[in-house]
Amino acid sequence: MKSLANKNILLGVTGGIAAYKSAEIVRHLKKSGASVRVVMTRSAEEFITPLTLQALSGNRVSTELLDAEAEAAMGHIELAKWADGILIAPATANTIARLSSGRGDDLLSTVTLAFDGPISVAPAMNQAMWRDERTQENLKKLIDQDFGICGPGSGEQACGDVGLGRMLEPIDILDMFSLSFNEGTLSGKKILITAGPTQEPIDPVRFITNRSSGKMGYSLVEAALESGANVTLISGPVNIEPPSNCNFVSIKTAEEMYEAVMHHISGMDVYIGTAAVSDYSPAKASDSKIKKDGSSSPMVLELKENQDILKSVSELEQRPYVVGFAAETNDLIKNAEKKLSNKNLDLIIANDVSNKDIGFDSDDNEVTLITEKEKHLIERQNKRKVSKKIIDFISGRINDQNN
């Protein structure tokens, strides 16, 4: 089974006797490192309780489309934005018919209509229902719409019949479902990513920094790892655990980050400068804590300009594909294009940090990808999804260069 670690999986459970196996699917998904949320149809609740799946997944189970509490935040849209993939297991004949016709009259079907990622169904029904021409026509429609079909298997069924229609075992379903994710686009490539803020000391207890949380950079690391890349992460101080399967380098100051980048840059295929590196640092840090002198006079702090890491990388003779970020509060596109040109970048990613919904510390982002020849908007969604789309964009350009 391909790794499902760090993926957000929405499990749809519909009303068939095989619904009891959904608990084991949740358990396997959690064990693999995925985050799981469950949507149940009304009939599914006759076979397994929401409380069981809530306890196993660690998240509230959603059951109603018109849930006043959830819909205050457009719950079905939020679920669609959250998920990286949707698995419906079991998928009854009725569910398959409704999905194939594009109906959106319950929560599960509505979420699938609002979702733009991989969807797989694990059919589970009586062998006669499986063989029925209408069921087969509905399945063909789903296949034509790029749904993944996991099964069914053959064997003894709850009604006593024997034949095709039995839901596959959970581990077999997940083996097939995991293949639906587009991985390996950067297989074997070496990527260096910087993330987080830097801290420029004024004295032993004070420093200059910024509001960068590191969330965007760390999300890019996860997306790059999922695409098969070998990733080195150079990070300033953040409250995020680095992925265990990357080469992690911890720094504090802009000077330390510069030295770390220059040390590790050789042989890299891609450099992504996500870190919010301080442009300036105190010209001289005090060796002891600066005390008030009681005069109420203003304190004068002399600053020096730090080395431009992004520009230094782009000026290397053997340079990688260089990606920068433009965190702007005004004239977003104009300022980003200027930075793209001045620093000789291959790609710049512009985001408006004046918008609190997508700025520093937010879980969401909206960015515009800008090269010399194109502009591509990635509309607001969580940073994990934005990161996946950025990595897909980069991998496309890298692969085009190699062809």
Domain of 102: which CATH number?
Answer: 3.40.50.1950
Same domain, 272 and 343: yes
H or E element that contains 257: helix 254-264
**DSSP-based three-state secondary structure for 255:** helix
Nearest to 192 by CA among 313, 327, 325: 313
User: What CA–CA distance (Å, rounded) separates 189 from 197?
Assistant: 26
The answer to whether position 99 is within a domain reads: yes
Total domains in the chain come to 2
Same domain, 257 and 172: no
195 vs 7: which has the higher pLDDT: 195
Same domain, 170 and 195: no
pLDDT tops 60 at residue 68 = no
Same domain, 78 and 195: no
Domain stop point among 178, 208, 228: 178
Same domain, 317 and 352: yes
Domain that holds residue 20: 8-178
Phi, psi of 196 (to 5 degrees): 80, -175
The answer to whether position 37 is within a domain reads: yes
pLDDT at 72: 42
Residue with tokens 């034949």: 163
The one-character DSSP state at 57 is H
Nearest to 115 by CA among 149, 86, 88, 89: 86
The answer to whether position 240 is within a domain reads: yes
User: What CA–CA distance (Å, rounded) separates 110 from 100?
Assistant: 13
Return all residues near 31 (Cβ < 8 A) that are at least 6 apart. none
pLDDT tops 60 at residue 42 = yes
Beta bridge partners of 208: 200
pLDDT at 78: 84
Tens-place pLDDT, residues 349-361: 998 887 777 766 6
The one-character DSSP state at 224 is H
Same domain, 218 and 153: no
pLDDT at 74: 47
pLDDT > 70: percent of the chain: 93
The answer to whether position 266 is within a domain reads: yes
Domain stop point among 127, 144, 178: 178
What beta strand segments (E) does 181-238 contain? 190-195, 200-203, 206-208, 230-235
Domain stop point among 130, 146, 178: 178
Same domain, 272 and 353: yes
Domain of 230: which CATH number?
Answer: 3.40.50.10300
pLDDT at 75: 60
pLDDT tops 60 at residue 97 = yes
Same domain, 173 and 253: no
The answer to whether position 292 is within a domain reads: no
DSSP letters along 66-94, please? T-HHHHTTTHHHHHHHH-SEEEEEEE-HH
Where does residue 102 rank: exposed (0-12), middle (13-18), buried (19+ CB within 10 A)?
Answer: exposed
Same domain, 146 and 200: no
pLDDT tops 70 at residue 70 = no
- Residue 84 is which amino acid? D
Tens-place pLDDT, residues 132-180: 999 999 999 999 998 999 989 877 766 777 678 889 999 999 999 988 8
The answer to whether position 289 is within a domain reads: no
User: Average pLDDT in the 177-187 region?
Assistant: 80
pLDDT at 71: 45
Q: What is the CA radius of gyration of the chain?
A: 25
Phi, psi of 87 (to 5 degrees): -120, 125
The answer to whether position 94 is within a domain reads: yes
**Is beta strand 162-166 parallel, antiparallel or unpaired with respect to 153-156?**
antiparallel
Same domain, 100 and 126: yes
Looking at the annotation, which residues are catalytic? 159
Same domain, 94 and 65: yes
Residue with tokens 């655990």: 241
User: Average pLDDT in the 220-233 region?
Assistant: 91
The answer to whether position 184 is within a domain reads: no
User: Average model confidence (pLDDT) for the chain?
Assistant: 89
Same domain, 361 and 388: yes
- Binned at pLDDT 50, 70 and 90, residue 25 comes out as very high
- Binned at pLDDT 50, 70 and 90, residue 323 comes out as very high
